[in-house]
């Protein structure tokens, strides 16, 4: 029976309102609607969550659904503590492989944290089940080798620490990795990471970034982004890690984010980093800095950034920020987040500074969040000018939460492509 497109869309709309169990029942009893339902499932059910699916479908309905959809799932979520039961379920459904699944997450809930003796041998079945996997996230504490069998894996996230033998096997077997996130508190050794020649993005704790590992990491030919987690790191370890990066890759830095939450006053540590040697730096982000009465000229901040962010710098004064802008002729984007001491007067000072050099400088665009005094003043008195602009797009909330808790370094992979004048002021 042929149905025109409008009628087909109407039928799909009605079927979409049914529960998954009802949809399976309709497919079982209506030959005319089978292809319509399968088309609907392909669109709506690309992710397989076995735990959720078991709560929606009874045994026979589950088997029918799984058999019909096994080639159409693109991602899957599994439960670490119930992995064997879930694999048994797939086996009862006749599923030996999910050939088009590219992403997999194996969850480990907070209630499982004490279950350190849960058997992990079922993990060895996953490389055959998910033969074309590209992205793997493991929340459970990994105790066995199996990840290295995913030879085409590109993205890997480990939420818990693993021993050096498991990590070494991953570096040896997963040559295609482009993104690696090591989110545990500490890793004994990351020796061998130099084998991951394609690695572009790396996240790991400061505690695992020492002189030995730093050399291997910073020599990675494709490395574009390095994030160092401050988990349980003290000020000395943070400074040592930042110094290691700057000593080896200062000339290739494009973006630098420093979180000073565990540091003393900025004048006690920022000058030691000698940030003015970062001649290619385009964006500087400083978080939780205590500027006190410091003269920002004496902190040796770079003068050639086109973008800067000051977040939760609670004692930063108008004049200090004005000094930074005055010395940053290339600055066009300024992000201010919860800097409570800044006032509306800052806008008048910025306008006066930039208007006097309007023929030489681009307009300065402000991105504000939790700066009500500045925003209110702008709305009252600065809407009709274009020297200092206010971005219409609000800063995203996640831009200043999880990601901003750590240190971040982004590099030009080909410095010559991004070459800038070494004489910029």
Mapped onto helix, strand or coil, the DSSP state of residue 311 is: strand
Given this model, what pLDDT does residue 296 score?
85
Given this model, what pLDDT does residue 102 score?
97
| pTM assigned to the model | 0.86
Q: Which backbone phi and psi does 405 adopt, to 5 degrees?
A: -85, -5
Taking the C-alpha atoms of residue 377 and residue 346, their distance in angstroms, rounded to an integer, is: 10
163-188 burial: b if 16+ Cβ within 10 Å, else e? eeebbbbbbebbebbbbbbbbbeebe
Q: Count H helices, E strands: the chain?
A: 14, 15
- Residue pLDDT tens, the chain, 425 long: 444 554 455 555 555 555 666 556 555 655 555 676 667 778 878 999 999 888 888 888 888 888 888 999 999 999 999 999 999 999 999 999 999 999 999 999 766 655 555 678 999 999 999 999 999 999 999 999 999 999 999 999 999 999 999 999 999 999 999 999 999 998 989 999 999 999 999 999 999 999 989 999 999 999 999 999 998 889 999 999 999 999 999 999 999 999 998 999 999 999 999 999 999 999 999 999 999 988 888 899 999 999 999 999 999 999 999 999 999 989 999 999 999 999 999 999 999 998 887 667 789 999 999 999 999 999 999 999 889 999 877 666 544 444 557 999 999 975 444 343 333 32
Given this model, what pLDDT does residue 25 score?
59
Contact 322, 350 (CB under 8 A): yes
Taking the C-alpha atoms of residue 298 and residue 319, their distance in angstroms, rounded to an integer, is: 14
CATH class as words, domain 250-425? alpha beta
Given this model, what pLDDT does residue 123 score?
95
Of residues 120, 119, 77, 122, the one with CA closest to residue 101: 77
Extents of the domains making up the chain: 1-44, 250-425
Tokens coding 399: 């831009």
Residue whose entry in the numeric block shows the structure tokens 């030919």: 221
């Amino acid at each position: 029976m042929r149905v025109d497109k409008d009628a087909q869309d109407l039928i799909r709309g009605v079927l979409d309102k049914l529960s998954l169990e009802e949809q399976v029942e309709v497919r079982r009893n209506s030959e005319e609607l089978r292809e319509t339902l399968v088309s609907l499932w392909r669109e709506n059910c690309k992710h397989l969550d076995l735990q959720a699916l078991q709560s929606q479908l009874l045994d026979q309905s589950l088997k029918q659904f799984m058999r019909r959809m096994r080639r159409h799932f693109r991602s899957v979520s599994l439960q670490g503590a119930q992995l064997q039961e879930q694999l048994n379920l797939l086996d009862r459904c006749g599923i030996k492989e999910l050939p088009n699944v590219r992403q997999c997450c194996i969850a480990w809930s907070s209630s499982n944290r004490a279950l350190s003796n849960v058997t992990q041998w079922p993990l060895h079945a996953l490389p055959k089940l998910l033969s074309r996997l590209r992205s793997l996230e493991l929340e459970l504490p990994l105790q066995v080798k199996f990840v290295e069998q995913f030879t085409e894996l590109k993205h890997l996230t480990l939420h818990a620490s693993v021993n050096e033998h498991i990590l070494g096997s991953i570096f040896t077997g997963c040559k295609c990795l482009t993104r690696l996130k090591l989110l545990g508190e500490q890793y004994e050794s990351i020796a061998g990471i130099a084998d991951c020649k394609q690695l572009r993005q790396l996240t790991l704790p400061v505690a695992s970034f020492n002189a030995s590992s730093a050399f291997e990491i910073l020599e990675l030919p494709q490395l574009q982004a390095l994030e160092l987690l401050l988990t349980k790191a003290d000020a000395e370890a943070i400074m040592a890690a930042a110094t290691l990066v700057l000593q080896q890759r200062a000339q290739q830095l494009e973006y630098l984010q420093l979180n000073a939450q565990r540091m003393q006053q900025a004048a006690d540590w920022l000058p030691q980093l000698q940030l003015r040697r970062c001649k290619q730096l385009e964006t500087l982000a400083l978080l939780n800095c205590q500027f006190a009465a410091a003269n920002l000229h004496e902190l040796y901040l770079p003068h050639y950034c086109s973008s800067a962010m000051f977040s939760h710098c609670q004692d930063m004064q108008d004049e200090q920020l004005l000094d930074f802008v005055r010395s940053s002729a290339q600055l066009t984007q300024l992000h201010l987040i919860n800097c409570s001491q800044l006032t509306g007067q800052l806008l008048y000072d910025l306008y006066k500074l930039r208007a006097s050099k309007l023929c030489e400088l681009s307009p300065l665009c402000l991105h504000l969040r939790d700066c009500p005094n500045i925003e209110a003043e702008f709305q009252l008195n600065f809407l009709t000018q274009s020297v200092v602009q206010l971005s219409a797009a609000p800063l995203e909330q996640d831009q200043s939460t999880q990601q901003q808790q750590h240190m971040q370094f982004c590099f030009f992979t080909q410095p010559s492509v991004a070459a800038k004048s070494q004489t910029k002021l």
